Each structure stands twice: as structure tokens, then as C-alpha cells.
Structure 1
């Protein structure tokens, strides 16, 4: 069977590597892919916003299954676009994808269906938002409404911070802003909880904890993710039941009322406050770098899982996992998440020696004349599995040191909350 994977990051390289293991898959195309996917698939340079070209190529090349990695094509309706074809496409439709496409859409669902979340206000202009600051307490959270690649969230300690955040959002730092969200700041511990759904059946798809801040000690600007570990230390059966019954299932039911059956991965960003889960946000796809952290733990054939979701047979699939601790460290271009240079040679990749439980996934990379160059802010993800998180982190750091790319940087403290130094 031929499979197409849409996207170009570390998540898509991880998906590609897992799908490649299936005996039923004989060809993979990546749109547009990266230097890593080019070694195990055929990269196709197509603009991801040009759904017609993706459809024409997929039909011509007899692709049976498309897997959508990033959020923007989902939010823009690529799943709906393929409904008139015989090609299976894995991901939620346009209605369901608004869970990520609009934070306000999600907040209104929470309000209507009593889903626990932070108290919030919605504002259509900067003046009203700034006036609200006099009536609230700090710290608080300011969020851009639309897609912002994980960066449109500000934790504001005081009024000056909040004023700057409001100004940047309405000035278009994350694209056109018609609305802004201001939330109370919840004090607790974050957790990422994943499910996979075929529109009828829901199954948990592991947990992870991302590190969003660029600097060690969880300080500095928000990024797309500097690293992650799996599983989360917080999950237990009573908490998981609360997450499913208070948050996930009411959300799925709300979407059904709107005429949408959720198919695909769903990623709930949660804050756990005194053993109670609160929804921070939804992502309608696998996280990045959480995907790279989780997939190496999966025993079950990923293609069979995704194919079952497309055919509404997920109930017949038993998900099995390795009982190991997985930790991912992201190697970034110097200057990220602000200004950084691209097309810098990474000349030592071919010399890296990986153990059975070591992985590296290309993210912002491209090949030029068979050599690998940087092509983004987050460049390579190093993942190691072992019996404990400290060993996993030590192994990942050793790989980064062996690569010795002088134009990159990384956080050395990923997993600090679960590692006793």
C-alpha cells in the first residue's frame, strides 16, 4: 500500500519511520518532508495550502492513505476536501479542527458543557482588553485566538507584561487577530494527554510532558517545544477517568451535536490542580516533540492503528507499549525562537552511532547535494529510551555532544521534574 504523510517536521519524520515498519506499506511519499524523510520516503515539493495539487498527485500515484501531521491543513479543511475521493485521510474534519483553530471556539464548548477550564474573557479590541486589566489579578494569561505554532501564549506577571502581549497580538505578530483571550493563571502541573479516535471508539495514546520555554528552568519565551518526556509522572487511573469523563468525552459529544465525528489524534493540554484536571488547550494532531517521544514506545503497528481509525474499526485494535521511559531533546538553531540563520551545514550526522533505543528525528533540515543543512528553528530531535529518565537524558545529551554542531543549542534540563539530580 502507498501512504502519503503531510508535513516537514520531527513529528512527520517519526510518523514516517513508524509507518515504514509496517509490512503492508511498500511506498511512502512526504509532502514536503525533510532531510530525514528523504532517506526512507520520497519527498514531494508541493505547497501544503494547494489541496488540489496534493489531491492530483495522490490520485495519480495511487496513494491509499494520507496522514496529516500539522494543524494548518486540518484547520483549513483538507479532510473535507478529500471526502469525494476513495483516498482515506487521517485527521479531524474542519468543524472538529476548530478545537485548535480557535481557542474561543473551545472555550465556548467548555462553558456550554461544564468542562473544567480556566476562567476567561474574550475581547475584540486592545482598548477593551487593556481596560479589563484593572479589574483582574496577576499573574494572568493572554492568548492569541488562532494558530500560532505554540507561541501565541503569554504568561503575564504584571500590567506592563499584559499591555505588551495585547499590543503584539493585535498588531499581528501571530497573524490577523480579531479576538484575544485573557485567562486566569492556574497553579498546578502541566500534562499532555493523547487519545486516538475513529469517530466511535476512543483509546488513550500515552501521555507526555512538553517543555515550552526556551531557557533552562522553564524560563524565557515560549517555543514550539524544546523537549519532552513520556510517560507523565502525574497519570493514574482515577485521574485518567476524570480526564476522559469530564473533558474528552463531553468535547467529543459537543462536536457530535455540531454534526462532526472526531477522527484522528486529539491532544489535550491539561493543568492538574490538586488532582483535578483543567483543560488549557486542544491540539487536533500529535504534538511535536511529544510524537517523537511517544512513538518509539509503541509496539503495535501504527499503520494498522491509523487504517482501523479510517475504517471505524479501532475497537478491534489492541494498543501495546514498551514499559520504558522516553525522553526527547530538541537541538535548535542559535537565536530561536527569534531570528536565526538557515542553510548551515550539519556535517557530522553520518558519524552518529545509535543504540537500539536511540533515535534522532530530523525537523528543520534539508538536503543539498547529499549534505544536510539546517532549515528551521528546531533542527533535530534526539530521543532515548531506558529504564529511567536520567539515563535517557544522559544518552540523548551524549548524542548531541557527538554531533558537535556549533551553530545549535539545547536545554540540558529536560525532564527536571522527574529526575533527581
Structure 2
């Protein structure tokens, strides 16, 4: 079903244009706001708390995302029809459940379904129960037992925090000593009761982010991307929330997409329904594609960041009706339409990230950067200070470009970055390197 049919579906459902509230303040939310602002299905568009970039296309309202009462009051005050939740923490905390009790539709799963991201251990047990391919693993609440297992298994090995960790609670240890240090950090003596780590085998292959829209019983493929988690060039240094991404991932051929839907997404959606916790929203599957085919690294229960910035720049379909259909449990057949071009996002971060970032530095040249053809500068961690835009987070900007190839998109993004005057910021210089190397090889 194409954009017109889905929009008609949404209009019939809501009997009017939708008032939509997007929750969050990062580059993902700026990208979602831009995509929704283009839609004829939108009445009022709001982002809370938003950022200066969001404010260019929507109303922004200060709100504490941990205070569900504030969010519910905002929904009542502005007659919100649909809430689109950006970050994972409110979903894990049960925001979708609280909204449902007040009759407000939410694009995002219940707390019970959000455990797919909220607990790595739960997700691994779920995969085992429903035959979803993933790495072999063990769960531990005792540091002593975890270390004994590490010495038995050897390295390399992966150590993960069970709960939410903003993309930083994963250590791929090359030695047993490194793995033991990770256990000490994630499961220290006297830690919170119930604290847990998951230890799993290292998967070999190529990592891909795959997204599917879900309405509780039906799933539709959405898009793919490749993220760059490490802070340094050549995938070196500590993990971050993501230093850049490009879309689509070339390894996600139509055949591989069909296989991922058949072997991973459909069994997951069906399994959640059988458990009585239907999954509605976007299922983000972190995949490793190796010789044995695709395996789940992790599940996320919301749009990824910075993948969303690249993905939505390619979207040619009307986004809000698809989101509304997921929330209503009425997802149509088919999948959203995308432009054939590639898109690439480079994250500009504040010095000190992923540790303690420098805040308050002024950023100049944003308008000039946005004049590069095919480029949009998305705000991720900024705030307005009088007439100035200043850094107010770790990941501060998401410079996104579209091009006929990943290489062309890459060249445009870095050309735009050269126009940004921000000495206190930095970025990786090699986002998209795998795809560009493939394109060069194919062209030679």
C-alpha cells in the first residue's frame, strides 16, 4: 500500500488531521519532526522537549520525559492524537501504558514489550524460547561466577550490562583480563540487587541495523543502515551512542531482507503476541550477518540514533499515517517507499565525548553548511543562548547528506562540516568507509 492509501486510512481513523507529539531532544527527534512536518496528515506538530532544530519545524515544549503526568497533561492541553516516543527509557518505564489508559495512541511498545531492549537477559531468553538465531550466552548476577565462566570460556568474548546503558554497556573483550574488568565495572561488589550481566560469544560477520514497523501482529520491513559505534577512525576506541551511519546497507539485499523478516522479525512479533505482550512500534534489530546467516546482536524498541537521521532523509512516503497504523494495530500490507539514493550522517560531538563532554561552546556556520546541495544539519545536543547556538550534550550535530552513491553523500557531508566553525567539536573522518570501499572496488 502506498502513501495515498495509507494517508486515506489514517484520515478515516482519526476523522481529521492528526495532532502529533514527538518526545525527545536529539538528532533522531529533529529528523522525525522534519519527516512529519512534510505530511498532509499533520494538524498540530509538537516536540517535547525538542531542541533549536526541532523548533524550526514544530512547536517545542519543555517537559521532563521521566514525568508521565507532565506528558499526559501536555497531551490533554493540546488534544494530541498520537505520541511518537523517541528514546527508550520512557517506553521501558511504561509511558505507552499510561497513555493508553488515558486514551492517547502511542507509537511505541508497552513496558512488557519494551523488555526486549530494557533487559538483555530477557531478550536472549526470548530468542532461545522462540528459535530466533542469536549468539550463545549465559546470564550472571554474581561477579565471582561470571569471572569463573570467563576463565572457562576464554576470549574474545562479549560482556553486556543487562539494563539500559545508552549504547555504552557493551564490552567486546580481547582478553580474559579485559572481560573481568568489564564484569567489575558492570557488576561491582555491593551493586544494586538484581543487577546482572550477560556474557556471550563473539559473532563474526558484518553488523547491520534493520528496522521493521509492527502493529502487534503484522510487521513490515522499513529500512536498513550501518552505524559506526566506536569513537575513533577505523572503528577504534570506546563505544559511543553512534558516531555516524549510512543507509541503505548494501548487504541487505531483497533476499537478505526477506530472510531477516522470516527468521527474526516475524518470529519475534508472533512470540511477543503469544506471550500476551504484543509489540507495537518500530522493532530495531541489531544484526550480525555472517557465514551462518543473520543473527540478533540486540533488540531496540525505538528508532535508532544516528541511523534515523540517514534513513528518513531517503523516505519518500508519508510517515505519520504509518506510525498511526502501528499504534492502532491496523498496519496495511506492503512497506513504505524510499528514494533510491544513499544517505549518510556524520555526528559532530563535543570534546570529551563519550566521557564528560564540554558544554556551552558556540557553534557558527550552520546555515552555510546547510547550503551544500543535498545536506541538512540536524540538531542533536544544542540549545539556544540568545542569538547563538551552543553545544549542550555529547553528540551535538548530525550532518546528513544524500547522494547517488554513499561516496557522493560522504563527500557532501564532509564538505558541509568544513563550513562549520566549532573548534570544541570533533567527528570521525571515515563514516561510510566500508560502503565507499565497495563502491570503489565495483567501479574499478
Q: Report the TM-score, using the length of structure 1 for normalisation.
A: 0.96
TM-fit CA distance, 1:248: 1.2
TM-fit CA distance, 1:236: 2.1
Which of 238, 244, 259 in structure 2 is aligned with 1:227? Answer: 244
Supply the distance in 2 between the matched residues of 1:241 and 1:40 (Cα, whole angstroms). Answer: 36
Which of 181, 186, 197 in structure 1 is aligned with 2:214? Answer: 197
**3-state SS of the aligned residue for 2:207?**
strand
Q: CA distance change for structure 1 residues 176 and 418 in 2, over 3 Å: closer, same or farther? A: farther
Supply the distance in 1 between the matched residues of 2:368 and 2:273 (Cα, whole angstroms). Answer: 51
Q: CA distance change for structure 1 residues 241 and 23 in 2, over 3 Å: closer, same or farther? A: closer
Partner of 1:37: 54
Partner of 1:312: 329
Pairing of 1:10-29 with structure 2 (within 5 A):
10-29=27-46
Pairing of 1:322-401 with structure 2 (within 5 A):
322-355=339-372, 357-401=374-418
Partner of 1:249: 266
Partner of 1:157: 174
For 1:342-386, what per-residue CA distance to the aligned partner results, in whole angstroms no more than 9, with x for missing partners?
A: 111113223334355211110001112132111110000011111
TM-fit CA distance, 1:237: 3.1
Supply the distance in 2 between the matched residues of 1:142 and 1:203 (Cα, whole angstroms). Answer: 32
| 1:239–1:275 CA contact under 8 A, matched in 2 | no
For 1:14-41, what per-residue CA distance to the aligned partner results, in whole angstroms no more than 9, with x for missing partners?
A: 0001101112323222111111112222
Which stretches in structure 2 are left out of the alignment for 5+ residues? Answer: 1-17
**3-state SS of the aligned residue for 2:113?**
helix
Q: CA distance change for structure 1 residues 12 and 155 in 2, over 3 Å: closer, same or farther? A: same
**3-state SS of the aligned residue for 1:95?**
coil
Pairing of 1:257-268 with structure 2 (within 5 A):
257-268=274-285
| 1:266–1:285 CA contact under 8 A, matched in 2 | yes
Pairing of 1:40-189 with structure 2 (within 5 A):
40-171=57-188, 178-189=195-206
Q: CA distance change for structure 1 residues 180 and 233 in 2, over 3 Å: closer, same or farther? A: same
TM-fit CA distance, 1:64: 1.4
| 1:146–1:177 CA contact under 8 A, matched in 2 | no
Supply the distance in 1 between the matched residues of 2:192 and 2:436 (Cα, whole angstroms). Answer: 38
Partner of 2:288: 271
Supply the distance in 2 between the matched residues of 1:276 and 1:288 (Cα, whole angstroms). Answer: 25
Which stretches in structure 1 are left out of the alignment for 5+ residues? Answer: none
**3-state SS of the aligned residue for 1:196?**
strand
Supply the distance in 1 between the matched residues of 2:112 and 2:207 (Cα, whole angstroms). Answer: 27
**3-state SS of the aligned residue for 1:419?**
helix
Please tell me whether residue 402 in structure 1 is matched to residue 428 in structure 2. no
Please tell me whether residue 212 in structure 1 is matched to residue 235 in structure 2. no
Partner of 2:15: none
TM-fit CA distance, 1:175: 8.3
For 1:92-118, what per-residue CA distance to the aligned partner results, in whole angstroms no more than 9, with x for missing partners?
A: 111110000000001101111221111
Supply the distance in 2 between the matched residues of 1:26 and 1:110 (Cα, whole angstroms). Answer: 40
**3-state SS of the aligned residue for 2:101?**
coil
TM-fit CA distance, 1:178: 1.0
Count of residue pairs the alignment pairs up? 420
Partner of 1:238: 255
Which range moves more in the overlay, 377-386 or 347-356? 347-356
| 2:155–2:175 CA contact under 8 A, matched in 1 | yes
| 1:170–1:176 CA contact under 8 A, matched in 2 | no
For 1:309-343, what per-residue CA distance to the aligned partner results, in whole angstroms no more than 9, with x for missing partners?
A: 22333216752110001111000001110122111
Cα RMSD (Å) = 1.7
| 1:327–1:393 CA contact under 8 A, matched in 2 | yes
Which of 271, 291, 295 in structure 1 is aligned with 2:312? Answer: 295
| 1:305–1:317 CA contact under 8 A, matched in 2 | no
Supply the distance in 2 between the matched residues of 1:45 and 1:316 (Cα, whole angstroms). Answer: 37
| 1:103–1:281 CA contact under 8 A, matched in 2 | yes
Supply the distance in 2 between the matched residues of 1:207 and 1:318 (Cα, whole angstroms). Answer: 13
Q: CA distance change for structure 1 residues 204 and 128 in 2, over 3 Å: closer, same or farther? A: same
| 2:372–2:416 CA contact under 8 A, matched in 1 | no
Q: Report the TM-score, using the length of structure 2 for normalisation.
A: 0.91
Q: CA distance change for structure 1 residues 192 and 98 in 2, over 3 Å: closer, same or farther? A: same
Write out the 4+ residue segments of structure 1 that deviate beyond 4 Å after TM superposition. 174-177
**3-state SS of the aligned residue for 1:82?**
helix
